[in-house]
Amino acid sequence: METVAAIPKYNLTEDQEKRLILREYRALLRSLKPKLKAGDKEHIRDAFEMAAEAHKTMRRKSGEPYILHPLAVSRICVEEIGLGVRSTICALLHDVVEDTDITLEDIERDFGSEISRIVDGLTKISNVIDVNASQQAENFKKILLTLTDDPRVILIKLADRLHNMRTLDSMKREKQLKIASETVYVFAPLAHRMGLYNIKTELEDLAMKYLEPEEYKEIARKLAETKRERSRYINEFIKPLREQMELAQFDFEIHGRPKSIHSIWTKMRKKGVSFEEVYDLFAIRIIINSPPETEKADCWKVYSIITDEYTPSPERLRDWLSNPKSNGYEALHTTVMGPQGKWVEIQIRSKRMNEIAEKGLAAHWKYKEGASDESRFDDWFHQIREVLTMEDNDSINFLQDFKTSFLAEEIYVYTPKGDVKMLPLGSTALDFAFSIHSKIGEQCIGAKVNHKLVPISHKLRSGDQVEIITSSKQRPTEDWINYVVTAKAKSKVKDALREEKRKIADEGKYMVQKKLENFGAAYNQHNTETLVNYYKLNSSLDFFYQVAVKNIDLKELKEFQLLGDRIEPPKPAKTQIETKPEINFTPSPRKDTELIIFGESSDKIVYTLANCCKPIPGDDVFGFVTTGKGLTIHRTNCPNATRLLSNYGHRVVKTKWAKNKEISFLTGVRIIGLDDVGVINKITNLISGELRININALTVEAKEGLFEGSIKVYVHDKEELEELVRRLKQLNGIHSVDRFDTEVNEPTK
């Protein structure tokens, strides 16, 4: 699709701009042509004119007229998601309420309530960005409620995000990091859940381009280099299949496509292999043109033709024909051993299934009439609605819970009667119990999975049959929060724990009342709040609970002053001593170890290095302002980076290393190789002798002819570490060398 992002440097005259806007508008109308009914064209023109007028003084960061953005989003909605006229009008107007003087009332007057409701939903989504975390989670809840009313809101938002990602080059680096993290954290999984695989893949690839630029370029380069060789192999692989399918008189198309850069990179990291060792760099797709009544049987016939020609890997068969995913995805996946000993993944679909796989929810509606499994999507929406309407004050964890509950892959498990239940990947027996009924969840003491007794924390797998065992004496405990992944179960466990805490706190309340009266003070709100503040607790509930469980015995009460029936805390408050350790959170400024921070000022600043990712000079990093700890430095590929950048973008500070060769940082490498005589000697000679790098610790385990070694070393910067990794790989018998993150990363002199 041609988009305005193709313009390399923005320097058009006013006339050229007008022509470009008109060209994009006409292209949009051409795409919509098959869907236009009488009067539609006029409505679209009205929306376009309203948006063009409203945005006429606005420019994008790249310098181009703002109206090109809603036009591009509309084209993505039509061409890549398959939406129609009403969605196009909403896409054209998606930014006007937020950015201009036009109100929702104006939109409702001109285009009706349906369109104004969707635009309202889109405006709420825009407000999610750059607010504090709990506010963000609240807004996200609003969006999802709108989504369950009208999923077009989220489809248009995904188109908006895709266009923003395609044109992210003109943004500042810290903005790129924040938007890319948010994309990979929420929007790509949401696209996947809506069945928009192409958009999900492109969002992940574009996010990786900004979050992991070096790895992205490297994999893209290697894919380009191996393209000819891959095409030759695909043709050789396809040839016998094509012949057999023609003999069987199938109407079909067959082609190979490379896996996305992001999925190749994920596989390299997960399996700890190099690009050359990723065996399925591409997938073969076979699309058959079959009527709905025979398409499943035809897919299995094609499977039979493939497995007659090539040997399949039985554990890698994925049958989403019998059990489609909740987002409507249907296909048969198999992995077979092709020529030259290479594994090849094959996806078999009908034309209808392929359209659903590419256009997701929008295509699903097209085939809605008479579809028996349409309820899968409805079930998903129903589950979301159920969780959203629960009264839970803890908004901070909402986004994370939503991701694990609704954006993960799902598994299918069975009740003892054979009813199927859909749960997110990673669910436990306890999640299953809560999915049946909250009472069953609260009284669950164990389960039988496939007739074997298992604990409540047992992780379920697709196809398991689960029977829950309950006891009326059972009560949820704090540990249960760690045993569940579904938002419903988490919320119910928290409710039950709160209820339990309230009962215990009531005893504490009675004890506090007695103590105050014995002291000669009244039991009232002022005195209770004074005690809550004195003991530095969040609420009176927490205070009463701590008194009841004897963590607080109120013996300090005799040090309080009594003014009438009111109490005043002693001065200085004794508990102030406890707050001292917080000072140690920020290390004392060392002359040469600072990062240069470009933000409010370019002065050198005190910071700590994040323990989760252990940055060293030369790593791509960002600063994050934490409560209590001040500025913490994380690598941009830190396991927590996407969560921090997408949830708390307003706390991110642009960060850059100052050059310094005086300081060493502790980091580590993991080496795997053949357990040969003298191999350890060779390694230590290289590190200490040739490269003059100090070794902090070395552990080696040898097993069945292989050894695995972990070496902690002090390096000055990333270049020195990369040189060490390169030189180690050159030694005979070394299979792989990878950086790992050490427990301690204190800069040392």
Angle ∠(17,20,26) on CA atoms, nearest 5: 140
Q: State CA 35 to chain mean position distance.
A: 35
360: three-class secondary structure by DSSP: coil
Residue 596 β-bridge partners: 604, 656
Q: For residues 429 and 424, what is the distance between their CA atoms, to the nearest angstrom? A: 12
Q: State CA 114 to chain mean position distance.
A: 31
Q: For residues 355 and 351, what is the distance between their CA atoms, to the nearest angstrom? A: 6
Q: Are 90 and 173 contacting, i.e. CB atoms less than 8 angstroms apart?
A: no
* Active-site hit among 99, 106, 150, 218: 99
CB proximity list for 163: less than 8 A, separation 6 or greater:
3, 5, 69, 72, 73, 76
Is 293 part of the annotated catalytic residue set? no
Look at the alpha carbons of 94, 100, 105, 111 in this order and tell me if their dihedral is positive or negative: negative
Q: Would you tell me how many other CB atoms lie within 10 Å of the CB of residue 408? A: 18
Q: For residues 625 and 607, what is the distance between their CA atoms, to the nearest angstrom? A: 9
Is 105 part of the annotated catalytic residue set? no
* Active-site hit among 98, 120, 319, 708: 98
Q: For residues 203 and 265, what is the distance between their CA atoms, to the nearest angstrom? A: 14
Q: What is the 3-state secondary structure (H, E, C) of 380-418?
A: HHHHHHHHHCCCCCCCCCHHHHHHHHHCCCEEEEECCCC
Q: Is the omega angle on the peptide bond into residue 572 within 30 degrees of 0, that is, cis?
A: yes
Q: For residues 77 and 362, what is the distance between their CA atoms, to the nearest angstrom? A: 10
Here the tokens at position 113 are 């309530």
Q: For residues 347 and 106, what is the distance between their CA atoms, to the nearest angstrom? A: 48
Here the tokens at position 350 are 């009908």
Identify which of 209, 291, 308 has the alpha carbon closest to the alpha carbon of residue 250: 291
CB hemisphere CA count around 399 (13 angstroms): 23
Please identify every residue annotated as catalytic.
98-99
